[in-house]
Amino acid sequence: MPRQKKINNELINQKNSENGNLETQRKRGRPKGSKNSIKITRQDKQPTTEQGENKKYLLHDIKLSSLPAIDINDNPQVEQRINDYFLLCADDDIKPSVASLALAFGFSRFTLFDFIAGRNKTITNKECILTLKKAYDRINSYYEHMMNNGKINPVAGIFLMKNNMGYKDTTDHIITANNNTDPTTEDITSKAGLLD
């Protein structure tokens, strides 16, 4: 703070205290109590894996990819595979995902999207498509619960929801006319200069 400004502040504070006015001019700078606060560095924010976590995820994916093939048009088999998938996620303490659900069936998440949207005609049984859609919606609901309860980083959650669940950032544009009456034929022709 420049010397002149500091002197002026001291004079104002002295006058206020002489007049019985306890109000003093606020100081600029850091908030009170923040001088000794811990600074969080970028390294502190980086996610880290504990010893054995990578092994846990890899073994989970190996279990999923080594499941025996099923008839994708047999609804009881599809339901059983979905139940086995969610139970395996619970047993391994791993969050379910669209990619790992697709892996449990032996196809990619894009193929799963195509099945659910009806673009891939390999599944002819409508019940199987609805069963897959319910499993997909269950994962969507799970991630919404996790985000609402602060269990998933919001940026990661937004990324997952946009890429896997079709969420989008949208802006609505509402256009209204300036007048409440429709123009008459005479108004249009006079503006166009067709009438003299």
Name the DSSP letter for residue 72. T
Rounded distance, CA 68 to CA 71, Å? Answer: 10
Name residue 4's amino acid: Q
CA–CA distances in Å: residue 25 to residues 6, 18, 32: 11, 15, 15
Give the pair of three-digit tokens for residue 168.
């989008």
Burial 35-63 (b: 16+ CB within 10 A, else e): eeeeeeeeeeeeeeeeeeeeeeeeebeeb
Residue extents of the structural domains in the chain: 71-164
Share of the chain above pLDDT 90, in %: 38
Looking up tokens 């791993």 gives: 94
Mean pLDDT within 99-121: 91
Looking up tokens 């946009």 gives: 162
Q: Is the pLDDT of residue 29 over 50?
A: yes
Q: Is the pLDDT of residue 27 over 80?
A: no
Rounded distance, CA 84 to CA 89, Å? Answer: 9
* Alpha-helix residue ranges (DSSP H) falling in the chain: 3-18, 42-45, 53-65, 75-92, 98-105, 109-117, 126-148, 154-164, 185-192
Instruction: Kindly report, residue by residue over 140-176, the tens digit of the pLDDT.
Output: 999 888 888 888 888 888 888 888 888 888 877 777 7
Instruction: Kindly report, residue by residue over 41-99, the tens digit of the pLDDT.
Output: 555 555 677 888 889 999 999 999 999 999 999 999 999 999 999 999 999 999 999 99
pLDDT at 6: 61
pLDDT at 118: 86
- Where is pLDDT greater, at 196 or 65? 65
